[in-house]
Amino acid sequence: MAEQSQSREERRKQLKANNAKGSKKQKKKSGGIFKKIFLTLIALGIVGMLAGVATVAYMVKDAPKLDPKLLKDPIASKVLDMNGKLIAEVGAENREYVAYKDIPSVVENAFLATEDYRFYQHHGIDPIRLGGAVLANFKNGFGSEGGSTITQQVVKNTFLTREKTLKRKVQEAWLAYQLEQKYTKHQILEMYLNKILMGGNTYGVATAAKVYFGKPLKDVTLPEAALLAGLPQSPNNYNPFVHPDLAEKRRNVVLSLMYQHGYISKAQMEQAQKVPVQSTLAKEDQRKLNEKPYDSFVDAVIDEVKKAGDFDIFSDGLTVYTTLDPNAQLYVDKILNTNEVVKYPDDKFQAGITLLDTKTGEVRAIGGGRNQKVRRGFNYAIDSMRQPGSTIKPILDYGPAIEYLQWGTYHMIVDKPSKYSNGTSYGNWDGRYLGPMTIRTALQMSRNTPAVQTLQQVGTDKAKTFANKLGIPLKEVFESYAIGGLGDGLSTMEMAGAYSAFGNNGFYTPPHTVTKIKLRDGTEINTTPETKVVMKDYTAFMITDMLKSVLEPPGTGTAAKVPGLPIAGKSGTTNYTEADMKKYNITNKKAVPDAWFTGYTTNYTASVWTGYSSRSTPIEPGSDQKIAQLIFKNLMAYVSKDKNTPDFTMPKSVQKVRIEKGTMQLASDYTPDSEVLTEYAVKGYAPKEVSTKFAKPDAPGNAAANFDQAKNEITLSWDYGKSAQFDVSVSINNGAEQKLTTTSDKSLKIANPTPGAKYLFKIIAVNGQQASDPATAAVDIPAPPSGNQGNANGGQGGQGNPNATTPPPANPNTGNPNAGNPNNGNGNGGDGNGTGGGNGGSGTGTTSGTGSTGPTSGTGTPANGTPTNPTGTPSPKTGQ
């Protein structure tokens, strides 16, 4: 066994020796390959380094020179009004310089911990800082630390643009290295702490300490120093006056960084983090007041210059040409900060105003708010995003309907209880429903259900496209947007821009405050935005004409009307939900959080928002909800008083149409004026059907009149194809026309007509106030039989009465037997008895003769004639 064991052990050793020998051969073989690869990599590295050096050299050859003057003294920019006159200098006005020796260590430590904790270890560029910033961003959230050193930030803010390119970063690193060679660390830190933007127009830590805390820099506490150090990352977002909650969160991040890097203890950090930010801020009466009425406008200018290019208006020494009308701006300031023009309910009531040129989009004045306590405070005209209420209806509802569906202003829609497409109910602001109406009336009276129905017919995609063209940045549109329930809200600047396109025949120029920027070297940059056609001219005109109705009764914007000035505009209010009312303890259902008015003339467009900084404070019902309209009215009257304001002109693509009320049909020639609406249609899309409601009726036919002798009555009849009312009149023997009756029958009977008369009848069909041509029918009524033949002959006349002076009168109907001639006492007299009978015959004799009567019947002859065929026997009568 031992031998076997040894043999096994020996064999194992032998195998191990053989393996080791083989390994040496393999290593020797592979070592040659590695050597070649290593030498190749070294060669490539040398080539790469040479190429890199060449590239860096090429990139830095155009880098600007270090100008010591620029490092310490930024150049203010000049802001000019529309007339080229200086209104502000931006940059130097609000900067207090502080030397390094006067910078408290707590302030220095706060900035070093936040911006560059290895500032005193690197030489301008810090790879460790860069890597640490990446890790910090993952650990503490994005923005906890920046990758650039303080030295690099000084270089970037002073000499370079902010473009994110490799060339700029290389130049930044090169200049940072140079800066470190020429200046001490304390000098560089001094440059940085005096240059940085601390919010609004505040530059440098010394200025910021006075603005935010009302104290000199040397007196700031740890939590105050941390707040200052947190501002440069986003000065406006962390402005403690406007966003104290965000400022406090940022301050606490800075405190944690100070503890992390060993500048303070954990106890100091925790104690400082408990201090409320608002308790450290300067009291309102200590804050610098807004001494200039142009601050709100300059605020917009600063934002616009930043967007125009890689400019720093606070230090680049720019000359900025703006669109400001100083007179209009002064009046806006007067409106907002006094009660001389408009009476406000209290000092906390706020308003935002944008006034611009309708044709050019140039902003003439901006009202950023009332009773601003800090310079360039929150701007309610450009920063505030509030729901626009019904002012959105021309943009999302009726504008797209005319643009894409070619609706006329007469288009009918029914104001009725309705639902969104998802089944949710909604209603009108007053809880009433008024039935069918034109879209003009619906917009004039701000009815909600017609607006939503209109959007539903247009479609949300087309509505969004239309709004986007007008500068309203909606990513999506829901049906609730039709009545102003936007999620993010809009500013007065955006609303004024959108409305100006309606007043400018469909041309839209984005609202702008800057037209040109001149650099220090004399280079001029035109910043005027491009004008675009965003809608058809027929859409612009018809929406404008509809909006003019809003300022007329029963419109919702009558308080904004300026007599004699052609204005188009729209009011708007928002509302509280039931949940809001419960949350904010609001009991009056008519209270609103926002009240708007946006409108325009051919010269100016203005948008006005009113309300409180928080939606939790309502505008109570009544006159306060009309303040936006009163601001608009007074501002528009002021800027228009010395300027001719022509009315809006109807384009050739539009035609005027006469529409019958309650229809979408053309009025007929017979429609009463009181029933006619003068409206507008897109040419080629006007109604073709004419209303027959008030058309002239057809005349009755086959009119006939017949006399029935047996019944002694006239029967009048006529034909008519449909039911109607008929006026019947008659003229007898061509006399005056007399109305007999109004009937719906087609026949009429007239009893006991006058014998021997001629009857002319007239029949007229009546439809409302319209009457047909007359139909006529005539009939002659026969006379009674003739009376020439008496029934008997007259008898012999008696003896005349010589004393008689006149004979008794003859009776033509019965005959007068005494009608003898008194001069003929012996004449024969008699009278026939019959119609038209003659008088008795004449007698002869003395004047005192006595005559006798003839028979009561017989055929007489004309007076004084002799009776013919006397048959009766005369009765003697003695004359007296």
**Selected catalytic residue, list 108, 115, 675, 679:** 115
Q: Which amino acid does the sequence have at 574? A: T
Question: Do the Cβ atoms of 89 and 78 come closer than 8 Å?
Answer: yes
Give the helix/strand (H/E) hosting 537: helix 537-550
Closest-CA residue to 754 (of 776, 730, 771):
730
- Catalytic pick among 256, 390, 446, 857: 390
How far apart are alpha carbons 726 and 700 in whole angstroms?
Answer: 9
- Token pair of 99, please? 């030397």
Distance CA 453, CA 505 (A): 26
Please name which of 797, 794, 801 lies closest in space to residue 832, comparing C-alpha atoms.
794
| CA 441 to each of CA 482, 556, 598: distance values in angstroms, whole numbers, following the listed order | 16, 11, 18
CA 865, 866, 872, 877 torsion-angle sign: positive
Note whether 107 and 217 are within 8 A (CB): yes
d(CA 124, CA 556) in angstroms, rounded, equals: 65
- Contact 401/454 with Cβ under 8 angstroms? yes
- With H, G, I as helix, E, B as strand and everything else as coil, classify residue 121: coil
Amino acid at 487: G
Give which of 545, 501, 509, 533 is closest to 648, Cα–Cα.
Answer: 545
- Give the burial class of 734: count Cβ atoms within 10 A of its Cβ; 0-12 exposed, 13-18 middle, 19 or more buried: exposed
Q: How far apart are CA 741 and CA 559, in angstroms?
A: 53
Q: Whats the size of the chain, residue-wise? A: 880
What's the rounded Cα separation, in Å, for the pair 854 and 837? 13
Q: Where are the alpha helices (DSSP H) in 91-146?
A: 105-115, 127-140
CB 376 within 8 A of CB 203: no
Structure tokens at 826: 């012996």
Instruction: Yes or no: say if 222 and 268 are a contact pair by the CB < 8 Å rule.
Output: yes
Cβ atoms within 10 A of the Cβ of 717, count? 17
Give the separation between CA 291 and CA 376, rounded to whole angstroms: 10
R_g over Cα of the chain: 54
- Count each helix (H run) and each strand (E run) in the chain, helices first: 23, 26
Mark whether 390 is an active-site residue. yes
Taking alpha carbons only, the member of 489, 299, 247, 716 closest to residue 255 is 247
- Residue 713: strand, helix, or coil: strand
How many other C-beta atoms are found inside a 10 Å radius of the C-beta of residue 625? 21
Q: Do 355 and 331 meet the contact criterion of CB atoms below 8 Å apart?
A: no
115 is catalytic: yes
State yes or no: cis peptide before 822, omega within 30 of 0: no
Closest CA to 228 of 176, 193, 183: 193
Return the active site residues. 115, 390
